Amino acid sequence: MAAVAALVCVLLVAVAPLQIGFVRADGGTAVTAAGAPFPKDPWSALHDRDAAPVEPTSAPVERVTQADLLAAAVPSLCGHPAGTLVDGMLPGMPEGDGVVWVFVDESGRIPAGRVAYGQIGQEPGVGAAVAVYCDKGGVGWPEAVVLYGPGPTYLGHVVLSDLAPGRQSVESLSISRGVVHVRFLDTYAPAEVGCCGRVDGTVELSLVDGELQVRNLELTAERPTAEQALGAAVAGDAPKLAELATPDAAGALLGLVQASSAAGGGPLAVGACTSPLAGAPEGTRATCTVTSADGATLVAHLHLARTGFAAWQVIGAVAPPAVAQPS
């Protein structure tokens, strides 16, 4: 009988493999060295490992590099034919005929303010906006901002003089949320004197269905500061005037307004703004007139300095020289 019982046990083991549980001596579930419970079937861990899906490796993001920009195709600028840059310069220019150039500094880098990297519109990858200088062999012409996608692929460009008359240079470029933000300095020629002044401009460039869109153009000259300062003086708003003018200029402007009022003068207005007049204080970048509302009477000259991007300050307010009346 003992022999028969042993044979039955062997057959049971052969046809019905047991699920082996791992337990501690105190009856609790045993764990691995890493702290995880042992599986009821030790082979299932190996099976699960082999069956686990392999995470796909994401493709690298395509991007424009500086090397791309210095060898990129450029459109026709400053009357020069379109072409492909070599080390940042358009080749084949006869000597004295001018240049088309992506500027690099002494270290061989495009300065940060003249290039920006980021996604442009809905274009895939990391693109770039770069300032391109050009001239015809004399003074600089208005600069252009050229947009590229990976490749590099030309996406479009804008010549800054197409936005406002004058001679513009790029102050800075940045890209956020697919939009290129441009800050530029505009040298213009007022008709009154045919000379120079300064206007700071900002504009946004974006791609919509592959087409370059220009929006939110803002130009800031000295005139708004002159008008605000005059308004504060007329209203007797000393704190506001102090924000817009130096102490000496604020006091002088208040005195001029009071004198005009005492003399029975009517409302005052800011007239023409031009390049600095002779005798203007050091640092003056523009002079605006203060006239009667109808412009018939010249009351004062306001001299202004440019203190930063789109920022001006009145630094002088003087009555015009008296004109001798004929006897």
Tell me the per-residue pLDDT of 129-138, one tens digit each, with 9 for 90 and over. 999 999 998 8
209 lies in the same domain as 231: no
Tell me, yes or no, whether 70 lies in a domain.
yes
Dihedral sign, Cα of residue 278, residue 281, residue 285, residue 286: negative
Residue 166 binned pLDDT confidence (cut-offs 50, 70, 90): confident
201 lies in the same domain as 306: no
Domain total in the chain: 2
Let me know how long the chain is.
327
Query: What are the tens digits of pLDDT across the range 251-304?
Result: 999 999 999 888 877 899 999 888 888 889 999 999 999 998 888 889 999 999
241 lies in the same domain as 278: yes
124 lies in the same domain as 215: yes
103 lies in the same domain as 172: yes
83 lies in the same domain as 178: yes
Structure tokens at 315: 């630094």
**Which of 171, 204, 220 is the endpoint of a domain?**
220
Tell me, yes or no, whether 45 lies in a domain.
no
292 lies in the same domain as 176: no
Tell me, yes or no, whether 52 lies in a domain.
no
On the question of pLDDT at 52 being above 70, the answer is no
Tell me, yes or no, whether 75 lies in a domain.
yes
Q: Which of 78-87, 92-101, 262-271, 304-313 has the lowest mean pLDDT?
A: 262-271
139 lies in the same domain as 253: no
106 lies in the same domain as 204: yes
Tell me, yes or no, whether 58 lies in a domain.
no
268 lies in the same domain as 142: no
Contacts of 52 (CB under 8 A, 6+ apart): none
Quote the pLDDT of residue 17.
41
Structure tokens at 96: 């004295």
Query: What are the tens digits of pLDDT across the range 210-219?
Result: 999 999 999 9
Tell me, yes or no, whether 260 lies in a domain.
yes
**Which of 174, 189, 220 is the endpoint of a domain?**
220
Q: pTM to 2 decimals? A: 0.73
206 lies in the same domain as 137: yes
Tell me, yes or no, whether 128 lies in a domain.
yes
Q: Which of 51-65, 81-95, 223-237, 256-270 has the lowest mean pLDDT?
A: 51-65
> What are phi and psi for residue 287, nearest 5 degrees?
-130, 130
Does residue 288 contact residue 301 with C-beta atoms inside 8 Å? yes
Domain that holds residue 298: 223-318
88 lies in the same domain as 200: yes
On the question of pLDDT at 160 being above 70, the answer is yes
